[in-house]
Chain A
Amino acid sequence: MKKTYKIEVDCANCANKMEEVANKTAGVKSATVNFMTLKMIVEFEEGQDVKAVMQEVLKQCKKIEDDCEIYF
């Protein structure tokens, strides 16, 4: 399953880092962050609780960039 989320982040490098940690989060098959359109496209692994996975993604992202936000 693929979902697109709106995100908030100020710097392009942070966006790259968010992509990196999102990809490492369990339950995420692949994630792409588009800094220009401020979107995160996440493909989940089968049978995952989307909400729980996204909460973990957000938690990890907050660690690398305190100012970021993901709307889900």
Chain B
Amino acid sequence: MNKKQKKVLVRILIAAALMITFSILPLKGMIKFALFMIPYLVIGYDILRKAGKGILNRQVFDENFLMAVATVGAIILGEYTEGVAVMLFYQIGELFQSYAVGKSRKNISELMDIRPDYANIEVDGSIQQIDPDEVEIGTIILVQTGEKIPIDGIITEGTSTLNTSALTGESLPKEVSAGDEVISGCINLTGVLKIRTTREFGESTVSKILELVENSSSRKSKSENFISKFARYYTPLVCYGALALAVLPPIFNMLIFKHPAEWNEWIYRALTFLVISCPCALVISIPLTFFAGIGGASREGILVKGSNYLETLAKTDCVVFDKTGTLTQGVFEVVGVHHNILDDERIVEYAALAECYSSHPISKSLQKAYGKPIDRSRIKDVQEISGNGVTAVVDGKNIAAGNGKLMKRLGIDYQECQHVGTVVHLAIDGTYAGHILIADQLKQHTKEAVHALHAAGMKNTVMLTGDAKNVAECVAEEIGISQVYSELLPADKVKKVEELLAQEGKKEKLAFVGDGINDAPVLSRADIGIAMGALGSDAAIEAADVVLMDDDPLKVVKAIRIARKCIRIVYENIYFAIGIKVLCLILGALGIANMWLAIFADVGVMVLAVLNAVRALAIKRK
């Protein structure tokens, strides 16, 4: 609690003690009035002062003014205890609200506490701490154990493990060594690292993320806009209602029914109205829910750019995926060696050596599978036959490595591969020696993610790819995605998404998930664009509405779950708060609810709504 809140707490305690004491004592007349004025002023002086200023500024619907009218009215009617109590509970409510909001503000900003305070540089053999903003590109910075990496760069010296959880929500530490690219915001766990910076601080990942999160809730959701509009009309409406309630029934009583006017009774009922006239519960709990939802999501490595996107995400019933880099790893790897007459390793070795002069991605994946440095002295007479493959002499043996066309050209019988992917056939001294299958591999959680999306009630899941039809369909079947469109150029993807959008109902939303490379137009065209693996990719962060810090497709499901929970809480609060208020207004008008009930309802609803809102921060971990 801060100083201001403590002061209010003390006032609440004093006023409550005095109020209880005085209401037990058998007091009468002016003495009772005078004594009750003490707790009333202790608890309400600032409200009265603000109410006075409100009148000067013609702010009639100011809540301080309304509280002042309600309590002063009650005191004039002789209901001293109630006058004090209303003020007291109003202050308790305000205190609770300010405490809860302050607390969640703090919690959430701690979650996003990834801003580095300094960077270490070495000057004449001693280490100096300087402002990260002052570090120029290409500077060598030193990161000690336990420190955050302040700026993106490449490791020049040292090995260590990094904790990336603040960025990705991923708890497994990452091993890094010299030559690896590292991003700012990771915590260096084990060794001292020297890093050559590749960006300025302002362009580094940390700065980008912070900027995104800090600006996130400026895009307000429909619910938030609805509530501010509601608040604008609700208070004046209730006030006019109160005025009518105070004046009309007594006049009717006198003129039409020839009854006594019962002014006191009706004014009392009208004052109850004023007590319920504050829309606080709603006005505070809805933004708080979104704030907590966005905060909770960012802890999981899911950055949502605005509360409106949480709303859209919750309504998503169709998820469109780009294939390469999103569902698959986007790197080609050797996945198998078939029909081979030698060991797998030998086959890969020959292929890698024969292809070693080629810069084709296939050749790269062969080298990677081989995993050892290439001894070029073993290779002679390399001939590249464009569109077919290569022939070379390796260790004195004639090696031919390439596609089916190459084998046909050399007149060698070969085996077709039954699997999907790129095939490299190998022949040694004119004899077929088997083939190597190279394919883009699915990500570890792809199948699980697609399954979970269907389980979460997605009507449709779609895969878009530039791959050949048979490859695409094979992958689609394996992961269980419901629709697939293949052989698409980047521009076709936008068209496909537009077609799919046209099929969506008014309240149904379409999400597109891509890796941010080449698909920025699609990301912005979809109802909601989700970019994954965004660490270090500025284009993706710019274009997307939701950014997944790592590249796990399961996060898409998680994001949708978080959004739905958040929206559910928002609706619960809207219905609950408005429902209770309307109920109290009706009961108050009928004379069933007194001021006590009204103030309890008002403060109670607010407390419950705020507690419910904070629930959005808690996210189930598996």
Chain A positions near chain B (C-beta within 8 angstroms) = 4, 10-13, 16, 19-20, 32, 34-39, 41, 63-64, 66-67
Contacts and interface: CB of A to CB of B under 8 A. Distances in A.
Given A10-B98, A11-B97, A63-B57, A16 B217 contact: no
Given A34-B217, A63-B57, A64-B62, 17 more contacts: A11-B63, A11-B97, A11-B280, A11-B283, A11-B284, A12-B97, A12-B101, A12-B280, A12-B284, A12-B288, A13-B283, A13-B284, A35-B101, A36-B101, A36-B105, A36-B291, A66-B53
Contacts of A11: 63, 94, 97, 280, 283-284
A19 B229 CA distance: 12
Contacts of B215: 4, 41
Contacts of B280: 11-13
Interface of B: 50, 53, 57, 59, 62-63, 94, 97-98, 101, 104-105, 214-215, 217-218, 220, 228, 231-232, 278-280, 283-284, 287-288, 290-291
A18 B253 CA distance: 43
Contacts of B94: 10-11
Given A16-B228, A20-B232, A63-B59, A36 B217 contact: yes
A64 B279 contact: no
A11 B105 CA distance: 14
Contact of A12 (B50, B57, B59, B287): B287
A19 B228 contact: yes
B168 to A, nearest CB: 23
Given A10-B98, A12-B287, A32 B220 contact: yes
B218 A34 contact: yes
Contacts of B232: 16, 20
Contacts of A19: 228
A62 to B, nearest CB: 8
Given A64-B57, A66-B53, A36 B288 contact: yes
Contacts of A67: 50
A13 B231 contact: yes
Nearest to B219: A32
A35 B50 CA distance: 20
13 contacts: A10-B94, A11-B63, A12-B288, A13-B63, A13-B280, A13-B283, A34-B217, A35-B287, A36-B101, A37-B105, A37-B217, A37-B291, A63-B59
Contacts of B53: 66
Nearest to B105: A36
* Residue among B98, B104, B228 having the largest count of chain A Cβ atoms under 10 Å: B228
Contacts of A41: 215, 218
Contacts of B105: 36-38
Given A64-B57, A64-B62, A36 B287 contact: yes
Contacts of A12: 97, 101, 280, 283-284, 287-288
A25 to B, nearest CB: 15
A38 B105 CA distance: 10
Contacts of B218: 32, 34, 39, 41
A53 B290 CA distance: 30
B275 to A, nearest CB: 16
A72 B53 CA distance: 24
B49 to A, nearest CB: 9
B281 to A, nearest CB: 10
Nearest to B58: A63
B217 to A, nearest CB: 5
Nearest to A40: B218
Contacts of A32: 218, 220
A70 B279 CA distance: 24
Contacts of B62: 64
Of all A-B residue pairs in the complex, the 7 with the closest CB atoms, nearest first, are A36-B291, A12-B284, A12-B283, A63-B57, A13-B283, A16-B228, A32-B218
